[in-house]
Amino acid sequence: NFNSIQSAIDESINGSEIFVSSGSHTESVSLNKSTVSGMGYSSIINVPADTYGFKVLQNLPNWDRTKLENMTIKGIVKDNNVGVIFDPDDAVAGRRNVSYVSLSNLDIAIKKPRGSIGNTYENMNIYECNYGVKANSVSLPQEMHSGNDTWRDFQIDTIAVYAFDYFDDTGGGAIHIKD
């Protein structure tokens, strides 16, 4: 038992599975090589303004496919907050499996500011956000395109700007899909 999700992750060894209890948790969590599993949608991560719920850090050298699963991530207010952000300082912070996660009342549900490819999203609900997914590629110093994610069995509803906003400046083009 730990006082926070982050303290459990910090004390874990690589490849550990962290279980999040049912109830409301208000914190920003940096996620490395651990799997984080809630007890279903009743495990709620509340995201205040100007911060994130989960920041995904680099998972090298093996890009082990760790998971973020079985929980709700929701904004307390929809003001410059992100449900899941991939490390903006690292273009290769990716290769995650995200499943059975509901994201709502956020500025951006999932943000990929530097590529962060190869993620799998399954059985997801994203609603009442300004952006569902906002992704950018980078060309320098480490080139990484913004696509190559897999989406299965998901619902996106009541999105103010774009459900999918992928911008690629490495020559791969862009895609913008409205709700």
**Could you tell me which residues are beta bridge partners of residue 164?**
133, 177
pLDDT of residue 171: 60
pLDDT of residue 164: 86
Cis status, amide bond into 61, omega within 30 of 0: yes
pLDDT averaged over every residue in the chain: 85
Decide: 117 and 148 in contact? Cβ < 8 Å.
yes
Residues in the chain: 179
> CA nearest 111: which of 89, 93, 136, 128?
136
pLDDT of residue 115: 67
CB-based contacts of 14, cutoff 8 Å, min separation 6: 32, 33, 34, 64
At residue 65, what are phi and psi to the nearest 5 degrees? -80, 75
**Cα 160 → chain centroid:** 19
Q: What is the pTM of this model?
A: 0.90
Rounded Cα gap, residues 24 and 39, in angstroms = 12
Q: How many CB atoms sit inside 10 A of residue 171's CB?
A: 9
pLDDT of residue 33: 78
Residue 145 has pLDDT above 50, yes or no: yes
**Could you tell me which residues are beta bridge partners of residue 174?**
167
Least confident of 8-12, 66-70, 143-147, 175-179: 175-179
